[in-house]
Amino acid sequence: MIDQTHDPKLRSWVESANQAGTDFPIQNLPFGVFRGADGNGRIGVAIGDEILDVPAAIEDGCLQLPGDTACALCASSLNQFMGQGAASWRAARHSISALLACDAPSHPDLLRARADAEMLMPAKIGDYTDFYAARHHATNVGKMFRPDGEPLLPNYLHLPVGYHGRASSVVISGTPITRPHGQLKPDDSPPVFGPCRLLDHELEFAAFIGEGNSMGSRISMGDAAGRLFGVVILNDWSARDIQKWEYQPLGPFNAKNFASTISPWVVTMDALAPSRRPGPERESGDPAVLEYLQPVTNDVLDVTCEATISSAAMREEGIEPLRISRGSLADLTWTFTQMLAHHTSTGCPMHPGDMIGSGTISGPGKDARGCMLELTWRGTEPIQLPDGTERKFLLDGDELAISAWHETESGLRIGFGSCNGRIEPAR
């Protein structure tokens, strides 16, 4: 729903929020959790280079909210607030927007510098499911591993394919990623146990579930959009050599359960309202989508994403990170609403703070491929780095960073911040 909080003319008394190119203008207002002076989590809203300390604003009396909403926003995670539903989220957005608007009294005492804040997980994730929703990614992988057959498996265009991930290994941006050990199968040799040799990133997004459903009930396509609280960047780190040996017959397991990184700021679905488009588009000859997955609202999100890499040597020499891919969330074949409707179609219960991943975002061009497996075509086309080295997969010391944003028609940037992880040696 587009309303006064999206007005491109709206400005804030927080000057950094009015600067061109900021990820966090007053039209965005993403939620996150930062560590307070007492060591506990505090809910905040990013505004320019600052964080609005939401509990402090409530305690000060300048942020007027219904009692249950105010109580939820004084918790140490966003779960309770997520579970209150769209009416509560919208009321909070309107009140926070009014508090930060340039015609309101300024309250610099309620701000915390983003650069100095330690960001924590925005929610306690009970369950995490990762999908495989980008057709270009699935087609590229199918061509690599089934060169003589159809790249897409028979069910791919009929339903959003997914697998249950590991919520305990989802970490916040900046957390070091330890190279995992695993069982590997060298060609023409028995399996061995050792450090992963083919470590990869996956450029993804994830949606947080807000109001859930009871066991045995379903969430319809018409209701699904209102059950999604917001979106973060997701890097689902992958051990490709472990995955190759273990994935048949039941799919990914240890190759995916050692780490998944998310960005700290949850960009709400309300903030992304200007980015919504009809779709997703189907190609000529594709089968019709079954009725329970038919879009009834504009569910495609027009969000641009980029991945960069820097080696330890590049950072030591002051060389800027190298952009290795640029894609769009709009390239997904299945939307988050379709993922949620399908996930609950069996009556599977979802809870506030549960997370669903998009799968690797890949587009039609080579520069839009969202992982090293695709970018280097299984290592046969290495990437050349500015320090004179090359990459087939990630090496120790490499840092992978993903950024994302939607640019409005007026030129405002509704950004997600950054999702970073640096590879540490196996232990």
Active site residues: 137
Q: Tokens 């925005």, residue?
A: 122
Quickly count: other Cβ atoms within 10 Å of residue 321's Cβ. Answer: 17
Residue 108: count other Cβ atoms within 10 Å of its Cβ. Answer: 8
Strand partners, 400: 309, 421
Q: What does the buried/exposed string (b/e) look like for 200-237 if buried means 16 or more CB atoms within 10 Å of the residue's CB?
A: bbbbbbbbbbbbbbeeeebbebebbbbbbbbbbbbbbb
CA distance 107 to 104: 9
Length of the chain: 427
Q: Is 254 within 8 Å of 242 (Cβ atoms)?
A: yes
Helices within 272-422 (DSSP H only)? 312-316, 336-343, 372-375
Tokens 């007026």 — which residue? 410
CB 329 within 8 A of CB 351: no
Contact 310, 363 (CB under 8 A): no
Give the DSSP H or E segment for 241: helix 240-246
Q: Tokens at residue 122, please?
A: 């925005």
